Structure formats: structure tokens, C-alpha cells
Amino acid sequence: MLFNLDKKITEAIDDAASKSLWLYHINAGSCNGCDIEIVAALTPRYDAERLGCKLTGSPRQADIVLVSGPVTLQSRDRLIRTLAQVPEPYCLVTVGSCPCSGNVFKGSYAICGPVDKYRHVDVSVAGCTPKPEAIMAGIAQAAAILKEKRRGMHE
């Protein structure tokens, strides 16, 4: 094509995949500690919008899915159903210790975690609760993965 225009557009789209990150937050039985820190990452002091982050309300528009909480019995099916509705390419980021391991709740009859039993987790952010800086570092790491995933879609 003219001046390799199609290639340039594809490259621009790949590039945009790591610059526009819409976050969708799933609370899988979290104590609200991590949820507050996620919101804190969007406040003026930390300003995750510099990375292109924006909270969306619909999983259909999500690029990065943030999961917090130890995946309780009640939230397990909802978590799986919601993750199935996210269009590719997307990144699954777990926030806090609970979704990675179950934390102090592990071994309980009401806990079905960790999350990686059900879906591949791209980036984990540890901490109880993680500081907003750590969440932003995790999001930045996920952005790089997202770009690779987008490249993998057309190669």
C-alpha cells in the first residue's frame, strides 16, 4: 500500500494499546482495603491518568482487570463470568495478597481462591494492602504485556 500505511496504522494501534488503559475493578470478596488503594491511585497525588488509565463500568471496555479479594464461594462464578466477557487483548492484574494466595483466609471452606486456579494472572501486586505506587507499577508492567499481546494478535 501507499507508504506502508497499513503497517504504520497497525503499529499506531499496537502503540495505543499500551497508552490507553481502561481499568475494570472486580471485588471478589475483598475487605475494601485494596479497593480504596486502587481509587487512591487515581487521585491527584498519584494520578494514574498520566498512564492513560480511566475507570470503566463495563467489562466489555476493560483493558486491565483488577481483581481484589480472596475469591469467595459467592463471588467465584461471577468472577469467571465477568472475566469471560472481557474482549481480547486484556491483562488480569491481582491487587493485594488475597487474590494471589488467600492470605489469612486460606483454607477456609468459603474461599475458592487463588485466582490463578481459574485464569492466567498476568501481573500480581503483593502487599496487604499495596501502596498506590505499587499498584501503578503493576499497571505499567501490565501495559507492556498488553502491547505484546496486541502484537501477538496479528502476527
Binding interface with other proteins (CB under 8 A): 12-17, 19-20, 22, 44-47, 49-52, 55-58, 60-61, 63, 85, 87-89, 97, 100-104, 106, 122-128, 130-131, 133-134, 136-138, 140-141, 145, 150, 153
CB-nearer residue toward other proteins: 76 or 132: 132
H-run or E-run covering 84? helix 73-84
Query: Cα–Cα distance between 99 and 113 in angstroms, integer?
Result: 7
The least CB distance from residue 58 to other proteins, in Å, is 4
The least CB distance from residue 99 to other proteins, in Å, is 9
The least CB distance from residue 102 to other proteins, in Å, is 8
Q: Which residue has the cell 479479594?
A: 69
Q: Measured at the alpha carbon of residue 42, what is the angle toward residues 37 and 127, in degrees to the nearest 5?
A: 25
CB-nearer residue toward other proteins: 106 or 117: 106
Query: Cα–Cα distance between 72 and 79 in angstroms, integer?
Result: 10
Which residues make beta-bridge pairs with 23?
55, 64
Phi and psi torsions of 94, nearest 5°: -95, 135
The least CB distance from residue 25 to other proteins, in Å, is 11
